[in-house]
């Protein structure tokens, strides 16, 4: 059995601007398509696709990491709008311990644009669940993602990283409130999880007039009722734009929602009034040419980084504590994985010893005929105990060596000395 490796390939807000991240985004159908493509690739045993506003990453288990890296790259290109050259320039590929550390940091929000954000754990869990639905996540990635979620929860509960604005919507609302007066009218476009968080944050900040615009009126009405606002369909966007001081767009649409022309007409209909537009969607909802309009202030998700950096200044010590927790978790997981390498050889050795024990008892069967059932049971327990005691120290030492990263030569020696089956080498 070949050694299995962990692999993470993708891009993030640290390596790619929003223009590239939105091209690489894997929406629901894109993520499913990528997973199905990878399941058909012989180099990939397991895979999970994670796509958020900050990143697109695929995690995989493989015995052939070089071939799997090419497969992951191809799966992203085939199921998104980014081309191969762009992805190659903006992406990173991490193996084994580095891949483990990446997922643990991502799930702990230490790698997020907004350090301490709360949405990422749900996004990681959702990606894992989608992979399970597609039959793409197996024993190794299941253990990895389960542990990642546990680590993320511990970082949130054992540190103060969640103090201050800790989500993209919260930062957007904070920016909106600082850019306008307390009586501002706010238009929220969308009714999904990001839009809901945005609307609730606006309500908590005391914004009096909140309008929810959504393609599906039902979703808009439910959210508007919860925050004391009003709901409209997309057919009323033009009218609502003329009334809005702030527009926060947070949909999961794969295309532009707000073109330049309706925004221009809205601004011209209200001379002297400024419109703040904050686009927190990836792919972006607002045509970037809107930024050129006089009277419009357009911010996208990358523009929030300056605000994020300021909010992080008071939490750097907490981030260091979070990193220490991640370091401990990576070490434990790495030791667990290393121990797996020795397990097949240990199992084969115990099976070989048991075969020998049973064969020797069978050859002595004639001499044991006169024993009582109690004496036979005693002989059985005695021989089994001898085997276990003989094997105990070698198997403990082998497992410890594997955890130190020095198990390969011990396994090979064991296989050679006891003539164990080659497919049990680990």
Could you list the active site residues?
A: 53
Give the list of residues 6+ apart from residue 209 with CB closer than 8 angstroms, or none. 183, 184, 185, 186, 229
User: Tokens at residue 367, please?
Assistant: 């001499």
163: three-class secondary structure by DSSP: coil
Q: How far is CA 40 from CA 26, 35, 122, 136, 296, in A?
A: 18, 9, 28, 10, 48
H or E segment and range at residue 365: none
Q: Where are the alpha helices (DSSP H) in 302-372?
A: 305-312, 316-363
Residue with tokens 């993030």: 12
The CA distance from 246 to 229, in Å, is 15
β-bridge mates for residue 62, sequence order: 5
- What is the number of alpha carbons within 13 Å of residue 282 lying toward its C-beta? 25
Give the list of residues 6+ apart from residue 189 with CB closer than 8 angstroms, or none. 195, 213, 214, 237, 247, 248, 249, 250, 251, 257, 258, 285
β-bridge mates for residue 59, sequence order: 8, 48
Residue with tokens 């002595």: 364
β-bridge mates for residue 12, sequence order: 55
The CA distance from 326 to 337, in Å, is 16
β-bridge mates for residue 188, sequence order: 212, 248
Contact 322, 387 (CB under 8 A): no
Q: Where are the alpha helices (DSSP H) in 206-247?
A: 217-227, 237-243
User: Tokens at residue 43, please?
Assistant: 């180099």
């Amino acid at each position: 059995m070949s050694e299995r490796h962990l692999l993470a390939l993708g891009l993030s807000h640290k390596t790619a601007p929003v223009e590239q991240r939105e091209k690489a985004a894997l929406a629901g159908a894109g993520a499913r398509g990528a997973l199905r493509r990878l399941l058909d690739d012989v180099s990939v045993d397991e895979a999970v696709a994670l796509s958020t506003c900050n990143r697109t990453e695929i995690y995989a288990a493989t015995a052939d990491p070089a071939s799997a890296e090419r497969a992951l790259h191809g799966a992203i290109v085939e199921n998104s709008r980014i081309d191969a050259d762009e992805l190659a320039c903006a992406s990173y590929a991490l193996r084994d311990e580095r891949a483990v550390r990446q997922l643990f940091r991502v799930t702990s929000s230490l790698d997020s644009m907004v350090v301490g954000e709360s949405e990422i754990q749900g996004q990681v869990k959702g990606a894992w669940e989608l992979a399970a639905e597609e039959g793409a996540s197996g024993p190794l990635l299941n253990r990895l993602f389960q542990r990642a979620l546990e680590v993320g929860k511990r970082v949130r509960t054992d540190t103060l990283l969640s103090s201050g604005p800790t989500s993209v919507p919260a930062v957007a609302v904070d920016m909106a409130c600082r850019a306008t007066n307390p009586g501002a009218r706010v238009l929220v476009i969308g009714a999904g999880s990001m839009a809901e968080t945005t609307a609730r944050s606006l309500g908590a900040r005391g914004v009096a007039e909140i309008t929810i615009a959504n393609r599906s009126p039902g979703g808009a009405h439910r959210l508007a009722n919860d925050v004391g606002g009003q709901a409209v369909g997309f057919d009323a966007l033009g009218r609502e734009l003329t009334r809005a001081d702030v527009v926060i767009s947070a949909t999961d649409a794969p295309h532009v929602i707000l073109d330049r022309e309706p925004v221009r007409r809205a601004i011209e209909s209200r001379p002297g009034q400024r419109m703040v537009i904050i686009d927190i969607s990836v792919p972006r909802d607002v045509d970037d040419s809107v930024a050129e309009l006089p009277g419009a202030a357009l911010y996208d998700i990358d523009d929030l980084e300056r605000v994020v950096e300021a909010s992080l200044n008071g939490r750097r010590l907490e981030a260091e504590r979070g990193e220490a927790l991640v370091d401990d978790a990576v070490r434990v997981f790495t030791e667990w994985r290393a121990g797996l390498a020795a397990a097949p050889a240990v199992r084969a050795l115990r099976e070989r010893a048991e075969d020998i024990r049973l064969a020797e008892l069978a050859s002595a069967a004639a001499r044991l005929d006169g024993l009582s059932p109690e004496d036979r049971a005693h002989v059985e327990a005695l021989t089994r105990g001898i085997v276990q005691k003989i094997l105990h120290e070698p198997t403990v030492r082998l497992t410890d060596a594997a955890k130190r990263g020095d198990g390969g030569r011990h396994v090979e020696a064991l296989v050679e000395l006891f003539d164990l089956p080659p497919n049990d080498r680990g």
